[in-house]
Amino acid sequence: MSTQTLDSPAASARARSAGRGALLALITRLHFYIGLFVGPFILVAAVTGTLFVLTPQIENHLYADQLRTASRGAAQPLARQVEAAQARIGPGPRLFAVRPAPGEGDTTRVMYTQPGLGDSESRALFVDPVTLEIKGDMIVYGTSGTLPFRTALDYLHRNLMLGELGRNYSELAASWLWLAALGGLVLWFARRGRDNAANTARSPRLRARRWHGLLGLWLAVGLLFLSATGLTWSNWAGARVDQLRAQLGWITPSASMKLPGSAGTAPAAAGEHAHHHGGMHEHGAMPAAGASVAGGFDRVLEGARLGGIDSNQLEIRPPRAADQAWMVREVDRSWPTQVDTVAIDPVSFAITSRADFDTFPLIAKLIRWGVDMHMGILFGWPNQLLMAAIGLALTAMVILGYRMWWLRRPAAGASPQTLTQAWRDLSWPARMAAAGVAVALGWCLPAMGASLLVFVAVDVLRWRLRRPAASRN
């Protein structure tokens, strides 16, 4: 009896140690699979995202002739600027919106829709507000008004220029990135202090692992941020996020474009992700740019200014139907954020509805700031440099991970531990918990769930093939 009592603490300690070892083996194998199979997608997302956040200044230089003008003096009324654009573009395209010149020396954008444009794309004519000269004619994209050079980078980052099918690549990367970061942290703390300096200096693999781990430690918060904000505008997981926000009341407020007394309501514009979604293609009923519409721009702008819309970066949209209002919204997403929206009656030019950023719930503000920071526009160039540094470091991490694998790749015929065997080594409660977490994450993050099924199918096959013949019978 006494011997059994004395052995119990030691046996319990051994059991706990075995349990921790089995869990660590499972995390190690899963981290390896993420790096090996999802790593290429994360690498492409990191490189293209870095290029995107670093290039606003390059784009401004490339399109300086369209964006800037040497003319100085009083600007012509917006109505005349719209008429000048309409005279150039002809009767086919439909007027979508106008972005008045934000400052002296800048051009006004008169934006149109026409067949053949993609989601969130419009055709913009760049008008000199002083001379009414047309300075440019090109396709622009999204709420940010991205020009063709960075639009190409945006599409490359978002979907590899493969359309909706390509969006699965970026969602796959974002779905696994946070788990790879957390798993890497667990492994770093579990292995801390095991590799002495002498061994690390002599071993290329240990050096690669040391730098891979240190970069992951330094970048952990940034990687979690990129994963979370990227998932909010993904296809499948983004829909889950939208459902959750609706249930919790975290929807971003919007101004109603329906005039008082008309049936129903309509949102002012797309939400935080209009840059990446079809926020510009609500305009099937857009009226042609007749004189009555063009003449209303100045009155609408005056009404918006009187109503407190004070940003120098504005977008004015005419009504899409007879029972709808004009919309004026601020599009300055730098700091401080100016994204207020007002609806203006086309007859009285009074404000009929508004959505002010100051009144947004905290969650809606955090989502707005998170998206803008992800895109590198919230704090100007410091934000750009921070996102670029994270992107470059993530790129280096992935490359170091592949170097580690190459230096320690198994020899032909070797039988490394599988994910299946690591899971079987867990206790029954731990197995059930791991399976439950996998199912829950697979439902919340469908791209992760589908790819995990592939991982498991390949791993089970390898596990069955590596078992001794006797144990398979």
Tell me, yes or no, whether 31 and 72 share the same domain.
no
Tell me, yes or no, whether 442 and 460 share the same domain.
yes
DSSP 76: P
Residue type, 161: M
Question: Prior bond to 336 cis, omega within 30?
Answer: yes
* 470/385: higher pLDDT: 385
* 59/468: higher pLDDT: 59
- Report, in angstroms and rounded to the nearest whole number, the Rg of the chain calculated over CA atoms: 28
Domain assignment of residue 244, yes or no = no
Q: Contact at 8 Å (CB) between 333 and 379?
A: no
Lowest mean pLDDT among 37-46, 185-194, 227-236, 435-444: 185-194
Tell me, yes or no, whether 80 and 206 share the same domain.
no
Q: Contact at 8 Å (CB) between 109 and 99?
A: yes
Q: Where does a domain end: 324, 359, 394?
A: 359
Q: Supply angle C-alpha 20, 24, 29, rounded to 5.
A: 155
Tell me, yes or no, whether 307 and 390 share the same domain.
no
What is the extent of the structural domain holding 122? 64-146+253-359
| Domain count of the fold of the chain | 2
Burial category of 120 from C-beta neighbours within 10 Å (exposed 0-12, middle 13-18, buried 19 and up): buried
* 406/110: higher pLDDT: 110
> Could you tell me the strand order of the sheet in which 341-344 lies?
134-141, 121-127, 108-113, 94-99, 314-317, 326-330, 341-344, 351-355
Tell me, yes or no, whether 303 and 322 share the same domain.
yes
Average pLDDT, the chain: 88
Q: Contact at 8 Å (CB) between 126 and 172?
A: no
Mean pLDDT for 270-279 is 52
pLDDT, one tens digit per residue, over 128-156 is 999 999 999 999 998 889 999 999 999 99
What is the 3-class SS of 344-358, one letter each residue? ECCCCCCEEEEECHH
Tell me, yes or no, whether 257 and 353 share the same domain.
yes
Domain assignment of residue 9, yes or no = no
Strand 351-355 relative to strand 341-344, pairing: antiparallel
3-class secondary structure, 52: helix
Domain assignment of residue 245, yes or no = no
pLDDT, one tens digit per residue, over 301-355 is 999 999 999 999 999 999 999 899 999 999 999 999 999 999 999 999 999 999 9
Q: Contact at 8 Å (CB) between 325 and 264?
A: no
Tell me, yes or no, whether 46 and 82 share the same domain.
no
Domain assignment of residue 189, yes or no = yes
In the numeric block, which tokens belong to residue 26?
């499972």
- Angstrom CA distances, 464 to 24, 225, 470, stand at 22, 38, 12
- Angstrom CA distances, 175 to 167, 234, 237, 451, 454, stand at 12, 9, 8, 10, 15
Q: Could you give the CA distance from residue 447 to residue 432 in angstroms, rounded to a whole number?
A: 22
Quick one: pLDDT band at residue 267, thresholds 50, 70, 90?
A: low
Tell me, yes or no, whether 403 and 435 share the same domain.
yes
In the numeric block, which tokens belong to residue 128?
């000199």
pTM of the model: 0.87
Q: What percent of the chain has pLDDT over 90?
A: 68
Identify the pLDDT of residue 290. Answer: 47
User: Tokens 């600007």 sit at which residue?
Assistant: 75
Domain assignment of residue 203, yes or no = yes
Q: Where does a domain end: 359, 389, 424?
A: 359
- Angstrom CA distances, 410 to 406, 407, 467, stand at 9, 9, 17
Identify the pLDDT of residue 57. Answer: 95
3-class secondary structure, 44: helix
Tell me, yes or no, whether 232 and 329 share the same domain.
no
Identify the pLDDT of residue 411. Answer: 59
3-class secondary structure, 25: helix
Quick one: pLDDT band at residue 261, thresholds 50, 70, 90?
A: confident
Domain assignment of residue 191, yes or no = yes
Residue 279 pLDDT exceeds 70: no
Q: Could you give the CA distance from residue 279 to residue 270 in angstroms, rounded to a whole number?
A: 5
Domain assignment of residue 6, yes or no = no
Domain assignment of residue 460, yes or no = yes
Q: Could you give the CA distance from residue 182 to residue 27 in angstroms, rounded to a whole number?
A: 10
Strand 134-141 relative to strand 314-317, pairing: unpaired
User: Tokens 């010149």 sit at which residue?
Assistant: 101
Lowest mean pLDDT among 12-26, 190-204, 385-399: 190-204
Q: Could you give the CA distance from residue 104 to residue 73 in angstroms, rounded to a whole number?
A: 8
Mean pLDDT for 382-393 is 97
Cα dihedral sign, 141-143-146-147: positive
DSSP 60: H
Q: Could you give the CA distance from residue 143 to residue 246 in angstroms, rounded to a whole number?
A: 23
pLDDT, one tens digit per residue, over 42-97 is 999 999 999 999 999 999 999 999 999 999 999 999 999 999 999 999 988 999 99
Q: Contact at 8 Å (CB) between 315 and 288?
A: no
Identify the pLDDT of residue 465. Answer: 78
Tell me, yes or no, whether 257 and 291 share the same domain.
yes
Tell me, yes or no, whether 401 and 438 share the same domain.
yes
* 282/381: higher pLDDT: 381
Quick one: pLDDT band at residue 410, thresholds 50, 70, 90?
A: low
Lowest mean pLDDT among 12-16, 122-126, 264-268: 264-268
Residue 469 pLDDT exceeds 90: no
Tell me, yes or no, whether 71 and 44 share the same domain.
no
Identify the pLDDT of residue 288. Answer: 45
Q: Contact at 8 Å (CB) between 341 and 357?
A: no
Question: Residue 157: left if φ>0, alpha if ψ -120 to 50, beta else—which one?
Answer: alpha
